[in-house]
Structure 1
Amino acid sequence: MHLRELFDRSFKAARIGVWECSLPDQTLSWTNTVYEFFDLIPQTPLARDEIVELYTPESRKLLNEAREKAIRTGEGFTLDAQIVTAKGNSRWIRITACVEFANGSAERIFGVKQDVTAEKTMVEQLRRLADRDILTGLMSRTRFEAFFNEICGGECQRTRSLLLVDLDGFKSVNDTLGHQAGDDCLKVAGRRLSQAVPDADMIARIGGDEFAVIHPCSSAEDLAQIATYIVEGMNWMISTPTKNIQITTSVGAAVIVPGQTPKDIFATADNALYEVKSAGRNGFRIVSLSRPALEIAHGTLHNEGNSFSSRIF
């Protein structure tokens, strides 16, 4: 009796309950903990059809498929399923199931259910942290690289461009005003960049004061206009009682063309950015591709030159 009590308490503390469904009459039996998962009063009569309706459509589909296979083959399963309880609360339940046969037929399916809502919430928070740059709220370098590799390796649905953005004068902010002022500067930069290119497919912070934008473009001239919006939008003054620092922006851009590796496209845009920096900063440079490459990218992308750039004052 003492061991049974310890067993029950341990399962309750671990948020684990035991369930059983007799076959073929579909009669359910639960321990009190499972009732708690579904926000039902313990010992309330259970109708399986009504309980199944508490699962989200996707989880219901997965559960039915796993259950039918288990009954057919005798193989158990483990499934994480999302439910909306009788009181409207969203929870995640990890279901472990076994099947018992008698005279060659499935007699009952049974197992344990565990509340894994906290685990799922933590995993989702970690995923969001991995996807987002904590300081600016923009996408992280990891998320950028995954998306960039995906679109470079996929079929070309529409023409996109890569713009690498670098702040001019950021080092002066850190050196003279301190790292807190530097963090504030990056936050402002993130907001201004988002406002400058609201139709971007992705905006990410990929380094200290380095940002990347993936943006649709219909022509080289269109890409130049996008770069202009960025340079103009990311030009502001940081004023303090002792010092004023002008923040400007340099941009290097390239069209994302099928058949080129992400590494080559990134290097092309990065070289263009370096040329802007070398030429005096506060502007952009677009490295256009050859006519055949442009035609592969998009039929409307035509530009006779190899590159063009602009200084904005």
Structure 2
Amino acid sequence: MQLSAASMGNPPTGDGGPTALEARLERVRQLLGIDGALLALAGGETMQVLWHAGASAEIEGELAGLHRRAGLRTTPLIVPDIAAEGSPGFVRFYAGIPLTLGEDSPHLLLSLFDTSPRGPAMADQLAALAQEVFGGDALQRAQATIARLEAELAERERTVAELLAIRRRQMQLVDRASETARIGIWECDLSDNSLQWSNGVYDLFEFPRGAKVSREETVACYSPASREAMERARAKAIAECSDFALDAEITTVLGRRRWMRLTGTVEAENGVAVRIFGMKQDITEEKLLADRTRYLAEFDVMTGLANRSQFQARLADLDGGSGHAPIGALLLVDLDNFKQINDTYGHALGDECLKEAASRLRDACPGAELVARIGGEEFAVLLGQAGKNHIDEVAEQIVLEISRPFMRLGQSLALSASVGIACADGAPPPDLFKRADTALYAAKAAGRNTSRTFHTGMPYTVN
């Protein structure tokens, strides 16, 4: 039996009961000439002290063994001299007197103690006198107080139950919100790398919920690049006891590719990292949307070639200052008489011609830095640094590839292309474009289906 935390203070009340009982305990103590007395609920492993007179935590601790013995009895436990039992201490005399309240009620234990021993006869007389003085209406008051305490306990239990119910509802809301946002909570114990996941993480990796998963199995799901980035960020966070975050690509155990946003926080004890915890969120749809948006911003939807925006950005970096290879030449390619195809066969067939021309253009210059569609039927090719012969060969190959007949929608169509060439040789991007455009007009003036290279004798075209 252990004394409860209530041992050092009498319970508050508004009905005057405990005050009267405390006064009765004090009178018992004075009448018997002893150092202290206390009244407690007895039985079990814990004894709850209700009221006391002259007691202290140290004394109650010293008497814990005697309280345990007395609390399990139905007759008084009287020890005239504790030292005689081989347990010397500050207290020498003890009497534990059970006070029965009723057949179905818990019983009280009235305990008397003193720093001086008593003879056996005197000890029995003190116990009997204490039981007589403390009986009657005092027990009735104690019983009423116990009933009130039990009612308060029941009310506390109801309150706890309500709070637990609210907590469960809150957790259900969190789970539903996490499921909607595709978020899961994870934790890794660094002592053995054991993992704990919420359902959201299991669903993200498509492991069965609740399955025992090792870190090795999880890491194997990452793509090589994402695995390297994750391990590097994780190691740095552990070394510095800090946080980390990154987007990572995974392949689930069912073979589906997904992207997730991973965050982690390192918890440390005495400066040593002991665990990591954080969130993992499925951002596959967000990633696909971002990739699609970026694609639309940089590529021509119909042909799949780079669009004018990407072409202009690359043209502005002629010397490769942004990490690209330097540009050696610009080729502008224009489909000859394309308007006639649109007017004769309609735009649907015209679109098919544009797709075919783009495919052939790509095949004609596989080593190009960029192939782009920059207008309705106008394309551009940026070549790296190369000799004039190679540049001319590329232009001739473009003219040859575009001019081959092809069948679309039951129609045999013949296309041709004119190509204008301008070598970079230190010219700024706007001038290089004007030179290629001038050469293109020269090719058209020469009868189309051919190429021309800009030279200083050509006048600039004015658009």
Q: TM-score range with shorter-chain normalisation?
A: 0.7 to 0.9
1:204 pairs with one of 369, 372, 375: 372
Residue 240 of structure 2 corresponds to residue 73 of structure 1: yes
Shift of 1:208: 1.0
Deviations 1:49-105 (A, max 9, x none): 342233223222222222222233343222111223333332222112223333443
Structure 1 residues 264 and 152, CA gap change in structure 2 (3 angstroms): farther
What is the number of residues matched between the two proteins?
A: 288
- Look up the match of 2:55: none
Deviations 1:263-308 (A, max 9, x none): 222221112112333454333211258xxxxxxxxxxxxxxxx78x
Residues 185 and 198, structure 2, Cα contact 8 Å, conserved in 1: yes
SS at match of 2:416: strand
2:289 pairs with one of 95, 108, 122: 122
- Look up the match of 1:20: 187
Residue 336 of structure 2 corresponds to residue 168 of structure 1: yes
Letter in 2 for 1:145: Q
- Look up the match of 1:295: none
Structure 1 residues 270 and 7, CA gap change in structure 2 (3 angstroms): same
SS at match of 1:118: helix
SS at match of 1:6: helix
Residues 320 and 327, structure 2, Cα contact 8 Å, conserved in 1: no
Shift of 1:14: 1.5
| Cα separation, 1, equivalents of 2:180 and 2:215 | 26
Residue 348 of structure 2 corresponds to residue 213 of structure 1: no
| Cα separation, 1, equivalents of 2:366 and 2:189 | 56
Shift of 1:217: 7.3
SS at match of 1:152: coil
1:191 pairs with one of 349, 359, 362: 359
1:10 pairs with one of 163, 177, 184: 177
Structure 1 residues 157 and 109, CA gap change in structure 2 (3 angstroms): closer
| Cα separation, 1, equivalents of 2:417 and 2:227 | 51
2:421 pairs with one of 229, 234, 253: 253
Letter in 1 for 2:393: Q
1:270 pairs with one of 420, 437, 442: 437
Alignment of 1:236-247 (within 5 A): 247=415
2:264 pairs with one of 90, 93, 97: 97
- Look up the match of 1:59: 226
SS at match of 1:250: strand
Residue 347 of structure 2 corresponds to residue 179 of structure 1: yes
Residues 260 and 281, structure 2, Cα contact 8 Å, conserved in 1: yes
Residues 217 and 223, structure 1, Cα contact 8 Å, conserved in 2: no
1:39 pairs with one of 186, 200, 206: 206
Deviations 1:207-260 (A, max 9, x none): 1111112345753344333322323333367999xxx99743221102233x43
- Look up the match of 1:234: 402
Letter in 2 for 1:34: V
Alignment of 1:86-165 (within 5 A): 86-154=253-321, 160-165=328-333
Letter in 1 for 2:442: E
For the pair shown, the structure with the greater C-alpha radius of gyration is 2
Structure 1 window deviating more from structure 2 (164-173 vs 184-193): it is: 184-193
| Cα separation, 2, equivalents of 1:159 and 1:69 | 40
Letter in 2 for 1:223: I
SS at match of 1:234: helix
- What TM-score does the superposition give when structure 2 sets the normalisation length? 0.55
Structure 1 residues 79 and 275, CA gap change in structure 2 (3 angstroms): same
RMSD across aligned positions (CA): 3.2
> What are the ranges of 5 or more consecutive residues in structure 1 without an aligned counterpart?
290-305, 308-313
Identity %: 43
Residues 330 and 423, structure 2, Cα contact 8 Å, conserved in 1: yes
| Cα separation, 1, equivalents of 2:450 and 2:199 | 67
Higher RCO (CA 8 Å, separation ≥ 6 residues): 1
Structure 1 residues 26 and 144, CA gap change in structure 2 (3 angstroms): same
Shift of 1:29: 0.8
> What are the ranges of 5 or more consecutive residues in structure 2 without an aligned counterpart?
1-167, 459-463
| Cα separation, 2, equivalents of 1:156 and 1:40 | 43
| Cα separation, 1, equivalents of 2:407 and 2:234 | 66
Structure with greater strand share of residues: 1
| Cα separation, 1, equivalents of 2:361 and 2:284 | 36
Shift of 1:157: 6.7
Deviations 1:166-189 (A, max 9, x none): 122122333454433432332232
Letter in 1 for 2:200: T
Residues 327 and 382, structure 2, Cα contact 8 Å, conserved in 1: no
Letter in 1 for 2:193: Q
Letter in 2 for 1:102: E
Structure 1 residues 195 and 89, CA gap change in structure 2 (3 angstroms): closer
Residues 421 and 439, structure 2, Cα contact 8 Å, conserved in 1: yes
Shift of 1:158: 8.1
